[in-house]
């Protein structure tokens, strides 16, 4: 499978500039060349106490809960009026929340989308109002009204997961290795890049016969987990194990995150099977403990604090009239090439777990308590 990025740096730069102009000039009613008043200093994109909206999805993993607290604290400390909301009710609730943020005059709207393809109307409202739109962690798709995507590169996350699975299976010494695949929720724009990144590493092993997906479920649609819900992954694994692994060993599982890895491990344990090599993501407390115990092979450190602070720094820059500097190849969202600011995800296994979380107080406390680091 091929990476689906498009590379149009120049267009992206213009898009970014255009997006910023809307936010900076449109919203402050100070078109280029117009004298500004004392209340609106020339360098300022918008008021220092402006409203900032942060629309988060459901609490399907710990990172979102951490993000809520960090956005509340960080935006408030920076002097902004923040509105930070979860969309526990799903995509339609998030649509209403974003419309309300626009009505309340938000100058920047940060969106971790439930379904990044279902927000076209709300993003259009946001842009018409002069707001700057940031896709947070998950790309906003099929819309021209997205200014920036800030995330840990999701395709790279998938590649790291695929590499970790291969490393673990090589150590396990199976030949051929029986594996199963789990993918995230189909409505999350990250789920396909996670899966495709992982499969870019694993598919060659399937093709050369080193790995066998015994269930035959190798397509994203077969492996997807609706709503990222642990219960859905566990039910799928109960069925899959009963049908395919009565006598065969299960050596490895590609899991896109920690929540689903633990769900699969529960099903595997209940089926009386030994623990396979299994990947994850998010560095959730329970999974960090499982890695220390040797029951989960890997996770990914995508430090939420670093990501949230990056977004808050961008917002502070926008307030001052400074446009963000993209650092990756623009990503095609189906309509435009969205400028990206990428952070680098880090793979964590038992080999580096003691040193991988410098500055992350939550995980560092777990490591210290374990007595293993
Ligand atoms: C995030 C992951 C998370 C998943 C489920 C994805 O979009 O990137 O970190 O595990 O959503 O919440």
CA of 153 to the centre of ligand 1 (A): 12
CA of 84 to the centre of ligand 1 (A): 18
CA of 61 to the centre of ligand 1 (A): 7
Torsion of CA 57, 284, 186, 221, to 10 degrees: -170
Instruction: Note whether 279 and 165 are within 8 A (CB).
Output: yes
Task: Decide: helix, strand or coil at residue 132.
Answer: strand
Check if 255 has its Cβ closer than 6 Å to any atom of ligand 1: no
Atom index in ligand 1 nearest the CA of residue 151 equals: 8
Instruction: Note whether 252 and 275 are within 8 A (CB).
Output: no
Phi-psi region of 213 (alpha: psi -120 to 50; beta: other; left: phi over 0): beta
At the topology level, CATH places domain 155-302+347-370 in Rossmann fold (3.40.50)
CATH code 3.40.50.2300 for 15-146+304-343: yes
Check if 323 has its Cβ closer than 6 Å to any atom of ligand 1: no
Helix (H) / strand (E) element for 267: namely helix 258-270
CA of 35 to the centre of ligand 1 (A): 45
Among 153, 193, 281, the mutation site with the greatest number of ligand 1 atoms within 8 A of its Cβ is 281
Give bridge partners of residue 132 from the DSSP assignment: 108
Check if 342 has its Cβ closer than 6 Å to any atom of ligand 1: no
> What is the phi/psi pair of residue 224, to 5°?
-65, 150
Among 67, 188, 224, 301, the mutation site with the greatest number of ligand 1 atoms within 8 A of its Cβ is 188
Mean pLDDT by 10 residues, the chain (373 residues): 36 35 33 36 78 98 97 98 97 98 98 98 98 98 98 98 99 98 98 98 98 98 98 98 97 98 98 98 98 98 97 98 95 98 98 96 95 94
Check if 137 has its Cβ closer than 6 Å to any atom of ligand 1: yes
Strand stretches in 79-214, DSSP E: 81-86, 108-111, 132-136, 148-152, 177-181, 211-213
Check if 141 has its Cβ closer than 6 Å to any atom of ligand 1: no
Atom index in ligand 1 nearest the CA of residue 258 equals: 10
Check if 61 has its Cβ closer than 6 Å to any atom of ligand 1: yes
Is the entire prediction scored with pTM above 0.75?
yes
Atom index in ligand 1 nearest the CA of residue 256 equals: 10
Location of structure tokens 């997807």: 224
Task: Decide: helix, strand or coil at residue 73.
Answer: helix
Atom index in ligand 1 nearest the CA of residue 259 equals: 10
pLDDT score, position 31: 35
Among 190, 192, 259, 347, the mutation site with the greatest number of ligand 1 atoms within 8 A of its Cβ is 190
Task: Single out the residue of 162, 178, 142, 281 nearest to residue 225, CA to CA.
Answer: 281
Q: How far is CA 289 from the centre of its chain?
A: 22
Each domain of the chain, given as residue ranges in start order, spans 15-146+304-343, 155-302+347-370
Task: Single out the residue of 50, 125, 35, 116 nearest to residue 81, CA to CA.
Answer: 50
Instruction: Note whether 275 and 295 are within 8 A (CB).
Output: yes
Q: Are 15-146+304-343 and 155-302+347-370 equal in CATH topology?
A: yes
CA of 216 to the centre of ligand 1 (A): 25
Check if 228 has its Cβ closer than 6 Å to any atom of ligand 1: yes
Give bridge partners of residue 179 from the DSSP assignment: 213, 252
Location of structure tokens 């840990």: 152
Rounded Cα distance, 94 and 210, in Å = 44
Atom index in ligand 1 nearest the CA of residue 152 equals: 8
């Amino acid at each position: 499978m091929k990476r689906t990025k498009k590379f149009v740096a120049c267009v992206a730069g213009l898009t970014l500039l255009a997006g910023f102009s809307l936010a900076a000039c449109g919203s402050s009613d100070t078109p280029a060349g117009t004298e500004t008043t004392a209340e609106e200093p020339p360098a300022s994109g918008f008021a220092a106490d402006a409203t900032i909206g942060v629309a988060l999805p459901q609490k399907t993993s710990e990172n979102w809960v951490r993000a809520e607290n960090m956005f509340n604290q960080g935006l408030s400390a920076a002097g902004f009026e923040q509105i930070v909301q979860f969309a526990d009710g799903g995509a339609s609730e998030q649509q209403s929340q974003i419309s309300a943020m626009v009505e309340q005059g938000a100058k920047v709207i940060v969106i971790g989308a439930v379904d990044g393809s279902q927000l076209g109307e709300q993003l259009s409202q946001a842009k018409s109002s002069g707001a700057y739109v940031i896709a947070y962690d998950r790309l906003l798709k099929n819309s021209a009204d997205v200014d920036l995507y800030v995330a840990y590169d999701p395709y790279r996350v998938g590649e790291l997961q695929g590499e970790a699975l291969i490393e673990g299976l090589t150590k396990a010494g199976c030949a051929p290795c029986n594996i199963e695949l789990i993918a995230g929720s189909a409505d999350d724009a990250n789920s396909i890049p996670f899966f495709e990144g992982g499969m870019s590493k694993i598919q060659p092993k399937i093709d050369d016969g080193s790995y066998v997906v015994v269930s035959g479920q190798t397509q994203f649609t077969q492996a997807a987990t609706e709503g990222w819900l642990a219960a859905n992954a566990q039910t799928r694994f109960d069925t899959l194990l009963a049908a395919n692994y009565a006598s065969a060993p299960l050596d490895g599982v590609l899991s896109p995150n920690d929540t689903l890895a633990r769900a699969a491990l529960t099903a595997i344990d209940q089926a009386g099977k030994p623990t396979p090599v299994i990947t994850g993501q998010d560095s959730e407390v329970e999974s960090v403990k499982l890695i220390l115990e040797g029951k989960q092979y890997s996770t990914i450190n995508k430090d939420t604090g670093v990501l949230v602070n990056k977004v808050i720094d961008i917002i502070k820059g926008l307030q001052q009239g400074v446009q963000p500097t993209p650092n990756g190849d623009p990503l095609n969202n189906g309509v435009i090439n969205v400028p990206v600011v990428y952070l680098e995800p880090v793979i964590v296994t038992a080999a580096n777990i003691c040193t991988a979380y410098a500055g992350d107080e939550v995980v560092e406390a777990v490591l210290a308590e374990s007595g293993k680091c």
